Amino acid sequence: MTALFLDAFIILFVVVDPVGLAPIFGAITHGGAPAYRRRMAVRGVTIAALILVAFVFAGGALLRALGVGMPAFQIAGGILLFVLALDMVFARHSGIRSTTEREQREAERKADVSVFPLAFPLIAGPGALTSVLLLSGRGADRPEAVGVVLVVVVVVLALALAALLAADRIMRIMGETGANVVTRVFGVLLAALAVQYILDGIHAGF
């Protein structure tokens, strides 16, 4: 269980990237009062938690309903995570791990950014959803393993909430360059984990 906890924590922490969320959250809530920013952060993380927990419990059933086996999903999920890792290494903001420019302009005109783009796709985006499906699928026959994944979701989202609430402080200390350095390091780790998922899927499938 300890190994699963560490694997799950590293993967989900790297994918959600709380440090990288701080500047994006600061941009879409720029000019808002502190109370408004706190409300958006808490609501966004809560909604993201509900989405991720739903995928932990219902993800396996969804795959079975679609006729998709876990090896195939491991390969597809590994490829998606590898693309996400490339975005992180090159500090690119594609639609996989953040909003597009048009989506961000739309968000800046909205009074409530907690659902879109904060909860989805910034926190519970394609990468995070793929990660929890892969992790929960590894321990689908062990209730305690699913419990470990749920604990990791709570811990990582608590860290994400802390980063959002301290977004201004983080950006003053680290700056855009510092945040990108951290994101690049996370991207290298995620690339290795993604390749391992692909290899595991190929081994299980063949």
Predicted confidence at residue 3, as pLDDT, reads 83
Predicted confidence at residue 53, as pLDDT, reads 95
- CA–CA dist 63, 171 (Å, integer): 40
Predicted confidence at residue 109, as pLDDT, reads 60
Look at the chain and report how many structural domains it folds into: 1
- CA–CA dist 109, 155 (Å, integer): 31
Predicted confidence at residue 2, as pLDDT, reads 83
Predicted confidence at residue 110, as pLDDT, reads 61
Burial class (CB within 10 angstroms; exposed 0-12, middle 13-18, buried 19+) of 152: buried
Predicted confidence at residue 37, as pLDDT, reads 93
Residue type, 19: V
Q: Which two tokens stand for residue 158?
A: 């608590």
- CA–CA dist 114, 106 (Å, integer): 13
Q: Give me the domain span that covers residue 10.
A: 2-205
Q: What are phi and psi of 80, to 5 degrees?
A: -60, -45
- CA–CA dist 193, 138 (Å, integer): 14
Q: Is the dihedral of CA 100, 101, 106, 109 positive or negative?
A: positive
Residue with tokens 């953040």: 98
Number of residues that this document lists for the chain: 206
**Of 91, 100, 96, whose CA–CA distance to 177 is shortest?**
91
Mean pLDDT, contiguous 10-residue spans, the chain (206 residues): 86 90 84 90 97 90 85 89 86 62 61 86 88 80 85 97 93 81 86 90 88
Task: Residue 130: count other Cβ atoms within 10 Å of its Cβ.
Answer: 26
